[in-house]
């Protein structure tokens, strides 16, 4: 049973590694200061 789970996870990992990587350009707005930003829970704090 555990061997089946591990084999399934290994097969999934191999499939994921075969997928094409799509580079994305992410722009973080509001993070252009030297202040430390703290993220807590679902809301952003410290910005």
pLDDT of residue 27: 72
Annotate the chain with DSSP letters as a single string. -HHHHHHHHHHHHHHHHHSPP-------TT--SSSPPEEETTEEE--
pLDDT of residue 21: 84
How wide is the angle at C-alpha 25 spanned by C-alphas 22 and 28, nearest 5°?
Answer: 140
| Alpha carbons 31 and 37: distance in angstroms, whole number | 8
- pTM, 2 dp: 0.44
Length of the chain: 47
Structure tokens of 27? 């722009």
Q: Where are the domains of the chain?
A: 2-45
Q: What is the pLDDT along the chain (47 residues), one digit of tens a residue?
A: 999 999 999 999 999 999 998 888 877 666 666 666 666 666 555 55
């Amino acid at each position: 049973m555990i061997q089946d789970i591990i084999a399934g996870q290994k097969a999934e990992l191999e499939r994921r590694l075969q997928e094409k990587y799509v580079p994305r350009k992410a722009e973080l707005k509001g993070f252009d200061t030297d202040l430390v930003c703290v993220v807590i829970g679902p809301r952003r704090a410290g910005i």
